[in-house]
Amino acid sequence: MGLNSWSTYTRGMSNIGIGIRIKHGNYDINNNRTYVNWEVYAYRVAGYNWYENPTSYINCTINGSKVVNNKACLINVYKQTSHTLARGGLWVGHNSDGKKSIRYNFSLTKAPYPINTGSVSGTYGLPTIPRASSMSISKSSMNYGDRVTFSISRASSRFQHIINGNWGAGSKNMMSKRSGTSFTWTLPNSYMNNIPNSTSKKATIWLDTYSGDKKIGTKTYYITGNVPSSVIPTVDSITAYDRNDISRNLMNASNQFIQGVSDIRIDNNGGNGVYGSSTTQRQFVSPNGSTVTTSSSTWQYFSGITNVTGTKTLSTRIKDSRGRWSAWKNVSVTIYAYSAPQLNSFSIARLSAGTTLQIKAKGSISSLNGKNSYNLWVDTSDKGRNSWTNRYNYKTGTSFDVTANISGSYDVAKSYDIRVNLTDKLGNTQRLTSIGTIKKILTVRRNIGIGIGKIHEQGALDVGGDIYLSGKVYGSLYPQSNVTDGNAGASAYLSGISLTEGNTLSGVPEGYGVILNSNLGAYRFSQTLICSYTSNTYVRHWRETERWTKWCKVATDVNDVAPQGMPGSWFRNGFGDYSSGQRLWFRRENKTCYLYGTMKNDRDWSGGTDNIVFANVPSQHRPPHKSPNYGQGTGTNTFYQEVNSSGDCQISRYQNGGSYSTLKKGSWLNISLCWPVE
């Protein structure tokens, strides 16, 4: 920029005036400054002439710089209109926006009369130096992969520009230095790797303005980058697998399962995030439509699906760290209906001669796409002997209606147990029945017994058929004592109602008691145990295929026990009642038990800290935690007593006067214990 004309500022005094002239020169864009020229002078006021006066002094300040400092000067305005006193120039820096105004001050002092001291001051504005350019952006929010246009309004045609941006991993160059004013840029998809846990990023954009190689300014802008809705995680594939070896080997085909048998495992294969995201959750949809969500496993089990059959769709998908779900990945599977082999009907009869047995059986199995097969077995045993011999096998197709004679010759005077098993490749159904002797109105075995409706086999009276009575039946039910194995089933017991002593059968709760056997066959046999000491009642049931259930305690209201002498079976280690008149008593009221009275020992015991168990109470009367007390012994002796959660009643610390003493045989021991029961 060239020099401009002088700007003049003056002030008149009584005989002369003073003034300052200022003009600016070229500006320096790179250094953001302008060169300013100045000149101070005196001039004649009309009617006055002046000549030398060496005692005058001048000062001049421009933009805070002292350009003239108390300079002595000769003012000579004789026959002249003005007299220059000093001149010069200086560089003045501009503000960052290129604008600048400068302050000036010129003064003359110490002049004798008739010159008066005076000054002139003010502000001089400099032209604005072109600085940082600005720009407009076609989009303030955009998807990754989209294009955006930057339109630059430059302050000088000589300026060049660079555009940089921070998209989450530090500054990245978006536009290299160039002179053009329009630039179109594509937001790279790869920048999404910088925001693995977010769907958007507010980026900072910088427009740098250059004059030559000098950066003269920067302006800041913002653009929001959005992850497109189409950017979602992916699942490579889904597979379904049967963890049950038996059903998997039977079907021997991909994606074929068996109702209620197969353990279906769904695998989510190759579930991956996208553009830096990671997998956070997986979902699996089971054959029955239920959904399971997990944050860890890449697979999910669905065991023993029982309520669905046919063609079903299994699905899986993943969720990534941006909170987005992948598309469902599906696989079609077939679940074949299955139920245990069905023996719809079965009967057995003697043919006319009586020594040949004929069966009639009807049933079916599940086809399982033609891969299942069955076997019908018929076994016989002498009645009650539980010693089986196979007599007949049959297998063809998936259903049957068969009438056939079974092998063997059968004594007309004997009864037989018949066992039928229908098996397929997965399960088994069993039926038990029996067939009696041939029909006889009356048979008599001298000195042994009488058979009615059949040949006599056992007892004084052996009846084949229903009995109808119009009078009373007198007699007693005799215990069946030949069974000791608690795992023995219905065939080991007498048919109908019988009794068994609890202490003769293995595995019986609480040991002692009476067992009522109700035996109506292989699938209708139950036992009821009534315990001798507690009156607790337990039941269990037998089915030939599932065998025994567990003994189950029956809820009763018989826990309360009236005061009674403690049963002898509770005592341990030779302890017992002190005498017939002084004994140990037990009672229970609702949920509180009491043990009180006197007892004695049958041997000497050390009186130290060792616990001596003197009794054990049954489980239904035991406390949830230890309950202690102190008791009185023989003479002045005392001892510690307690009952614990295992039912042990024990004493210790038998002492006299603080010193442990021997618990002598036959000592008088006073027991007083009370405890809660849950």
| pTM for the whole structure | 0.53
pLDDT at 83 > cutoff 60:
yes
Provide the token pair at 15. Answer: 């005989």
For residue 1, what pLDDT band results from cuts at 50, 70 and 90? Answer: very low
For residue 16, what pLDDT band results from cuts at 50, 70 and 90? Answer: confident
pLDDT at 543 > cutoff 90:
no
pLDDT at 80: 62
Cβ-Cβ contacts under 8 Å for 331 (sequence gap 6 or more): 238, 239, 240, 255, 266, 313, 314, 315
Considering 174-178, 397-401, 565-569, the range whose residues carry the highest mean pLDDT is: 174-178
What DSSP element (H or E) covers 250? Answer: helix 245-251
Give φ, ψ of 230 to 5 degrees: -80, -10
pLDDT at 79 > cutoff 80:
no
pLDDT at 229 > cutoff 90:
yes
Least confident among 400-414, 497-511, 616-630 = 497-511
Give φ, ψ of 487 to 5 degrees: -95, -5
Cβ-Cβ contacts under 8 Å for 44 (sequence gap 6 or more): 16, 17, 50, 77, 80, 81, 82
Contact criterion met (CB below 8 Å) for 135 and 182: no
Residue 39 one-letter amino acid: E
Least confident among 179-183, 405-409, 521-525, 593-597 = 521-525
Q: What is the pLDDT of residues 340-356, one digit of tens each?
A: 899 888 899 998 788 89
Average pLDDT over residues 316-339: 94
For 504, the 3-state DSSP assignment is helix
For 620, the 3-state DSSP assignment is helix
Nearest-angstrom CA–CA distance, 627 and 319: 57
For residue 78, what pLDDT band results from cuts at 50, 70 and 90? Answer: low
Q: What is the pLDDT of residues 265-278, one digit of tens each?
A: 999 888 889 999 99
Nearest-angstrom CA–CA distance, 341 and 165: 74
Strand partners, 299: 267
Q: In terms of pLDDT, which residue wins out, 67 or 469?
A: 67
Domains of the chain, CATH where assigned: 7-126 (2.60.40), 134-226 (2.60.40.2950), 237-336 (2.60.40.10), 342-435 (2.60.40.10), 490-554 (no CATH), 561-676 (2.60.40.1830)
pLDDT at 2 > cutoff 50:
no
pLDDT at 532: 75
Contact criterion met (CB below 8 Å) for 256 and 369: yes
What DSSP element (H or E) covers 285? Answer: strand 279-285
Establish whether the linkage from the previous residue to 114 is cis, with ω within 30° of 0.
Answer: yes
pLDDT at 87 > cutoff 70:
yes
For residue 452, what pLDDT band results from cuts at 50, 70 and 90? Answer: confident
Name residue, tokens 């140990």: 584
* Average pLDDT of the chain to the nearest whole number: 86
